[in-house]
Amino acid sequence: MTDHSNQARLGVGLVGHSFMGAVHSQAWRTAPHFFDLSLAPSMTALAGRDADRAEQAANKLGWSSSTDDWKSLLGRDDIDVIDVCTPGDTHAEITIAALEAGKHVLCEKPLANTVDEAKAMVAAADKAAGSGVRSMVGFNYRRAPALALARKLVADGRLGAIRHVRASYLQDFIVDPEFPMMWRLQAERAGSGALGDIGAHIIDLAQYLTDDLLAGVSALTETFIKERPLPEGASSGLAKGTSSMETGEVTVDDAALFFGRFGGGAIGSFEATRFATGRKNAMRIELNGSDGSLAFDFESMNELWFYDNRIDDAEGGFRRILATEPGHPYVDVWWPPGHGLGYEHTFSHEVYDFVEAVARDRDPSPSFADGLQVQQVLEAVQSSAADESRWTEIPKRGVGAV
Amino acid sequence: MTDHSNQARLGVGLVGHSFMGAVHSQAWRTAPHFFDLSLAPSMTALAGRDADRAEQAANKLGWSSSTDDWKSLLGRDDIDVIDVCTPGDTHAEITIAALEAGKHVLCEKPLANTVDEAKAMVAAADKAAGSGVRSMVGFNYRRAPALALARKLVADGRLGAIRHVRASYLQDFIVDPEFPMMWRLQAERAGSGALGDIGAHIIDLAQYLTDDLLAGVSALTETFIKERPLPEGASSGLAKGTSSMETGEVTVDDAALFFGRFGGGAIGSFEATRFATGRKNAMRIELNGSDGSLAFDFESMNELWFYDNRIDDAEGGFRRILATEPGHPYVDVWWPPGHGLGYEHTFSHEVYDFVEAVARDRDPSPSFADGLQVQQVLEAVQSSAADESRWTEIPKRGVGAV
Amino acid sequence: MTDHSNQARLGVGLVGHSFMGAVHSQAWRTAPHFFDLSLAPSMTALAGRDADRAEQAANKLGWSSSTDDWKSLLGRDDIDVIDVCTPGDTHAEITIAALEAGKHVLCEKPLANTVDEAKAMVAAADKAAGSGVRSMVGFNYRRAPALALARKLVADGRLGAIRHVRASYLQDFIVDPEFPMMWRLQAERAGSGALGDIGAHIIDLAQYLTDDLLAGVSALTETFIKERPLPEGASSGLAKGTSSMETGEVTVDDAALFFGRFGGGAIGSFEATRFATGRKNAMRIELNGSDGSLAFDFESMNELWFYDNRIDDAEGGFRRILATEPGHPYVDVWWPPGHGLGYEHTFSHEVYDFVEAVARDRDPSPSFADGLQVQQVLEAVQSSAADESRWTEIPKRGVGAV
Amino acid sequence: MTDHSNQARLGVGLVGHSFMGAVHSQAWRTAPHFFDLSLAPSMTALAGRDADRAEQAANKLGWSSSTDDWKSLLGRDDIDVIDVCTPGDTHAEITIAALEAGKHVLCEKPLANTVDEAKAMVAAADKAAGSGVRSMVGFNYRRAPALALARKLVADGRLGAIRHVRASYLQDFIVDPEFPMMWRLQAERAGSGALGDIGAHIIDLAQYLTDDLLAGVSALTETFIKERPLPEGASSGLAKGTSSMETGEVTVDDAALFFGRFGGGAIGSFEATRFATGRKNAMRIELNGSDGSLAFDFESMNELWFYDNRIDDAEGGFRRILATEPGHPYVDVWWPPGHGLGYEHTFSHEVYDFVEAVARDRDPSPSFADGLQVQQVLEAVQSSAADESRWTEIPKRGVGAV
């Protein structure tokens, strides 16, 4: 934002204003003051389902206008980007309409609730790309500096041949059986439970960090608490047919376990759960290679642990790299070493990369095709789990994708 | 910021725009979007020594105007607050002038470079307070949620009688003897070295967390590297008389060690150093009491470790509390559990508390008097170190303070 | 050993004198000086395959005599116990003969190389039990104080209903493809690879700690390095037919991944690998229950991490219990708090419990039946892995066991 | 112990049979079975103050005979070594008599209760050395593999110039004011409190690891609980004059804080306390040098943390070396990597080194002169603390030592 006169404006319209909407807002507001962006984002309009709540949200989150009609954003000339932060069941409709209207799209993960929706979205993105319209799916964790550093170390060959991926995403926010029904616990709205919500992140990360794709999986899912109390006045936010009951049926997984093989020969274990009592946001991933290993836990998000197997055994050990050095990805614009970043910074980095991709006419990453591939893994997991953990292959990337 | 019509404006003028200026800017911009502030901060003007650099900084950091004359801010009606982010040698002049002009003041720590300056500042603050003008010194770490939680646990009596305080602030950014001379290494500008820069933080924290004051200390300081290369074109930023030499003399401490006694009977050890190779921002504090202990390390700023001595020995252990729960101080406005905050959030919390104090006509904390008391400890440390570690008493609070 | 006059002698014969033989020897020598044993163990004789090496081992390890004929131990009146520390392919023959000769048996894990062998051993143990002859399988890790404490906390209901078991046993000693062939890499001698060697431990622990049994599993195994150099003069220690080749085929798994369901409703994930670069002996297990969680890593064997979900969220956190308190299992006879124990102590505790069981005419635990059940899990894992990760049920305990 | 025929016997007499006596016994018993000793230790006799208790102890701890007259050991031809495990007030008398009787001596730390006693012991040791009689003081922690590795890394220059030593020894066993009076709390018996008991260890380690000596110190000591209940029948074990009271006066420090300068230019901070609630045996030491840093905590005794400053910042980090590799000091005779050792192993290593020194006619280390120098530091600390933390120089090694 050093010189406004040379910097074209990029109007942004946000759809959805709860958790994801709030953190995206902070990212849109913050990124320009730290990164040298080639375009100047303008927080132009926010859309929600309810006009009053959308107006309140726009005021609170810092958007210039609000509406209860997201479609109205598509006709505005002052909006160049649609940022989709709604539940998964509306991703396909909103993103496809936005892309057809020539708007760049940043869409939260998981890309969709089904593979079919995701395929339609990829088709729309591919078509729009022909006109220079960009699309990106929001796997924000890729942009935690420690994980971006991990990717760099792997790409530089520091791990050698990767043999193991061990990934888990552990939360505990619904351990209490009195925790009420919400849209995230309904298949109709959320697609799946822990699997799509948090499992999608570790699938994406495992594939991103290894630069390899899962070829097949075997899976098991479980729902520990099958009925939950409905919240007061629950009808509006929940899928239809649930409002007249005192409890509602949980129709998604509480936990998903699976293992798989990667195309390049590595094996991997995965666990996503909302029942790991005491684990708040423990997104953990460990890679073991012939020349080294890496380990990460989001509960200590500024640390990357690296074991360099080329060092003599007598001096070897997992090394706690504080990913806060100027030489680490994204870090130079922030604070001095040891002055850690937080969760929201992953989104500021995402905005930076997205804006630069738009400005420089290149495809941002992860693409909708990446999002579709993750969706195919999710579907394979659900399919395997529904059929006695049968081994289930993942369609090869690009093979019959659309 | 939910309803602008009911919310009076609070114009802010920032003086200084390097590291501290940048993080304060982020705090002024961010706080209103998360906390329900009673006044609406407006980032009105930024002052620096050089007009061009000030203008660039204002653009980058998000201030509406800029000037190379900080005094001009004092005459503006649209500025209510002066936020002082300059080196310590200018704190007294700027804050006293601002207070006399009826501006509320938020001043970075350490409050001043000398006790005399600090006393003059306290006198000005006391006088201004009579007219409802507020002043606060920026010991930001108090507002890390984990440390605010620590204060609460101590205040609730969970530690019983406190016996030990063990505090250290470990950095390593000048271990390399080729690291160039800078104002922080000159007594004329910075007052002291590691002692005032980072030691001041742990002195404040130790006293804040225990709600007790140091009564006396014995100290040792050391400068390991006594000459450093001057940076290219070093003259402007450094004190006079250094520009024509190829190296400059380091006139502050690289490290300070001291121990002391608190008024309430506890003993404490302190270390501030810029030579703890590998420690990036390890501000650590541990309190041992008759009923429990607490431990904290800023390199893992979202964690507080608590040992509850009332639990049976067979089940006792230091407990890693992730200070990211809605019930923890400042946390409810941010993200879900386990989604950690970063360094800059301590400043957003500081802005929140400062604004509310101004809005509600109450004195913010820590006050200039708190800053003066820390300054007296710093002076006692330097005095002891200069006289063979002689035991040196700290003047009692309020006794002949002004 | 407080009063020799009242303490009957318990003659012990050891079969096998490499790694396991050495650590058992230390346990037999040490336990009497710390625990008040009801019988006085006498380290009477050591048997090996080679007379000279057996004699040297007996001297070094502290046994009164040696032999190259383990069968000769069975006829000696001064030997009451046979301690079996040989590779798995000889367990069945030695233990059955010993039991038939009326000797108590302590047998290393895994109990056998096949379920059939294990069933025969259980039959022999059951028959011998009728005459007061005792048998025990050496899952030593149960007797690490931290894990014995974990069992106690679960038994006391501190975890509530257990939902998740997450277990892994990570080593890296054969990551180097030049690491030579050895008996542990041959199916004929070892039965399986990482699975039986270290996977058996976490299967036993998971079932022991939860007091529940696995009902079914889905599994995947992998051998990353399929050929390895033969050691110099390799023929003697390896299975027949390998000595004339320059490299030998690895016929066991390098890694095994599986997940399963417990009878009581919990789900579990398991990984055993010798390719987790940088992990030396990371036997990890975590249990998540409705009221709390436990976590353990053998690389920090004196620590048990406990999350008590009954504590208010604002104070909750995983607690590092140093399992070195007098009130912790086995600890009171050792050193003061914080003076940690080592790997070998788990065996000293095993000897203590075994001797007391023999002395007091009760069955030691884990029994051969426990060992058989673990063997059935191992077989189910191998069976599933060989058939595209097909879901494979574990025979119910006692159903057609013999 | 591989070949008894070539191995001369080394008769050992132990004086004292409580905590230290027990752990020394385990070391004498264990070392020969792991290390190839040049002499074969024989646990010949144990001496205590009370004949019955000494006999019981000899039985339990594995000594061939017992006596209530330690002097009788000095006349026995079958005793070559006197191992002194009594409280500090008897060290001088016993060791000097033993040395004069031509017995090698292993004496527990601190060497004595006063500098004068220590000087007399050094004189006796020097005199005896002329006849090939060896003496050693038992600073066992030097022989934890992780710390021996630390010494090696420093000696190899991996840390460059050492600037900081940060040492603390934190325990909490007397936090409860009802913890009864014992000899360790009486100056007459113990010399000092936390200072001599545990502070002596970190003084020795700091000097050993840096290969440098403290030149001066400034200190503060504190006794938090000044009266404690006398135990039932307390008279025998405590100093005279205490038995008729209901409470006894604590005449030693509960905690000692000090800092100092080393001869080579480093500075150091030290804390020894028995009031660090929740810390069980946290003997911690950190060294910061120009090229790297090391950190250790005995509560995780198998770990050494190493920061190598020569590694690029982007990859640097404290590395957790599990000191369980065959290439680490003392480790090759024990277990595979990751199979940790315990507290008692430091003593087994001490016995190994002591026996080899005796066998090979060389002086073991640490010597009595080393013990005297530590005693001089302890005395300087007490002297400074008694005189308002006055800076107090440590006599130079060998200057007027005797």
Decide if A4 touches B, using CB distance below 8 A: yes
Q: How far apart are CA D323 and CA D148, in angstroms?
A: 10
Of C66, C69, C57, C68, which Cα lies nearest the Cα of C25?
Answer: C57
- Residues whose CB falls within 8 Å of the CB of residue D154, separated by 6 or more in sequence, listed in order: D162, D209, D210, D211, D287, D289, D294
Of B102, B154, B90, which Cα lies nearest the Cα of B295?
Answer: B154
Who wins on pLDDT, A18 or B239? Answer: A18
The neighbour count for residue C301, using CB atoms within 10 Å, is 27
Do B299 and B171 touch, CB atoms closer than 8 A? no
Work out the pLDDT band at A240, boundaries 50, 70, 90. low
Of A139, A38, A207, which Cα lies nearest the Cα of A347?
Answer: A139
pLDDT (0 to 100) of residue C7 = 78
C-beta atoms of C273 and A318 within 8 A: no
Tens-digit pLDDT string for chain B (402 aa)? 334 456 799 999 999 999 999 999 999 999 999 999 999 999 999 999 999 999 999 999 999 999 999 999 999 999 999 999 999 999 999 999 999 999 999 999 999 999 999 999 999 999 999 999 999 999 999 999 999 999 999 999 999 999 999 999 999 999 999 999 999 999 999 899 999 999 999 999 999 999 999 999 999 999 999 999 998 765 545 555 555 558 999 999 999 999 999 999 999 999 999 999 999 999 999 999 999 999 999 999 999 999 999 999 999 999 999 999 999 999 999 999 999 999 999 999 999 999 999 999 999 999 999 999 999 999 999 999 999 999 999 999 764 433
B318 to chain C: which residues are within 8 Å by CB? Answer: 319-320
What token pair was written down for A44?
A: 């132009």
Long-range contacts of A394-400 (CB under 8 A, 24+ apart): A394/A213, A394/A214, A394/A215, A394/A216, A394/A217, A394/A260, A397/A213, A397/A369, A397/A373, A398/A369
A164 to chain C: which residues are within 8 Å by CB? Answer: 255, 273, 275-276
The answer on pLDDT for A239 being more than 60 is: no
The answer on pLDDT for D237 being more than 70 is: no
Residue of A nearest to D294 (CA): A315
The neighbour count for residue D25, using CB atoms within 10 Å, is 26
Instruction: Identify the residue among D154, D319, D321 best suited for mutation to test binding to A, counting A beta carbons within 10 A and taking the highest.
Output: D319
pLDDT (0 to 100) of residue A237 = 54
Q: What is the mean pLDDT of residues D376-389?
A: 97
User: Which of B271, B289, B317 has the CB atom closest to D166's CB atom?
Assistant: B271
Please write the tens of the pLDDT for every residue from D175-197: 999 999 999 999 999 899 999 99
Q: How far apart are CA D318 and CA D207, in angstroms?
A: 23
Q: How far apart are CA A49 and CA B234, in angstroms?
A: 58
Work out the pLDDT band at A96, boundaries 50, 70, 90. very high
Q: What is the mean pLDDT of residues D373-400?
A: 91
The answer on pLDDT for D402 being more than 50 is: no
Decide if D294 touches A, using CB distance below 8 A: no
For residue C354, give Cα distances in angstroms to A64, A303, B385, C80.
Answer: 76, 45, 63, 12
Q: How far apart are CA C358 and CA C360, in angstroms?
A: 6
C-beta atoms of A321 and D317 within 8 A: yes
The neighbour count for residue B51, using CB atoms within 10 Å, is 13
Of D49, D21, D289, which Cα lies nearest the Cα of D164?
Answer: D289
Q: Where are the beta strands (DSSP E) in C178-281?
A: 214-222, 227-229, 247-249, 255-262, 267-273
Q: Angle B120-B121-B124 (CA atoms, 0-180°, nearest 5)?
A: 90
> How distant is the alpha carbon of residue B20 from its chain centre?
10
- Residues whose CB falls within 8 Å of the CB of residue C352, separated by 6 or more in sequence, listed in order: C31, C35, C37, C330
C-beta atoms of C312 and B321 within 8 A: no
Decide if C157 touches B, using CB distance below 8 A: no
Do A66 and A55 touch, CB atoms closer than 8 A? yes
Q: How far apart are CA C331 and CA C341, in angstroms?
A: 9
Please write the tens of the pLDDT for every residue from C113-124: 999 999 999 999
Sign of CA dihedral C38, C39, C43, C49: negative
Provide the H-helix boundaries in C13-114. 19-34, 51-61, 70-74, 91-100
Amino acid at D26: Q
The answer on pLDDT for A309 being more than 50 is: yes
The neighbour count for residue C184, using CB atoms within 10 Å, is 20
Q: The pTM is what? A: 0.96
Please write the tens of the pLDDT for every residue from C343-381: 999 999 999 999 999 999 999 999 999 999 999 999 999
Q: How far apart are CA D41 and CA D32, in angstroms?
A: 7
The answer on pLDDT for D2 being more than 60 is: no
The neighbour count for residue A310, using CB atoms within 10 Å, is 9
A324 to chain B: which residues are within 8 Å by CB? Answer: 280-281
Decide if A390 touches D, using CB distance below 8 A: no
pLDDT (0 to 100) of residue B6 = 63
Range in A95-104, A189-198, B63-72, B230-239 with the lowest mean pLDDT: B230-239
- CB burial of B59-79 (b: ≥16 within 10 Å; e: otherwise) equals bbbbbebbbeebeebbebeeb
Averages of pLDDT over each 10 residues, chain C, 402 residues? 65 97 98 97 98 98 98 98 96 98 97 95 97 97 98 98 98 96 92 95 98 98 96 59 72 98 98 98 98 98 98 96 97 97 98 98 97 97 97 81 37
Do B301 and B174 touch, CB atoms closer than 8 A? no
Q: How far apart are CA D385 and CA D391, in angstroms?
A: 9
B314 to chain C: which residues are within 8 Å by CB? Answer: 149, 321, 325, 327-328
Q: How far apart are CA C132 and CA C62, in angstroms?
A: 29
Work out the pLDDT band at D397, boundaries 50, 70, 90. confident
C-beta atoms of B317 and C306 within 8 A: yes
The neighbour count for residue D120, using CB atoms within 10 Å, is 18
Q: Does this complex have an ipTM over 0.90? A: yes
pLDDT (0 to 100) of residue B241 = 52
**Do you find a cis peptide bond into B326, omega within 30 degrees of 0?**
no
Helix (H, G, I), strand (E, B) or coil at D373: helix
A265 to chain C: which residues are within 8 Å by CB? Answer: 224
Residue D389 C-alpha, separation from nearest chain C C-alpha, in angstroms: 31
Do D245 and D238 touch, CB atoms closer than 8 A? no
pLDDT (0 to 100) of residue C398 = 61
What is the DSSP secondary structure assignment for residue A276, as one 8-state letter?
Answer: -
C149 to chain B: which residues are within 8 Å by CB? Answer: 314
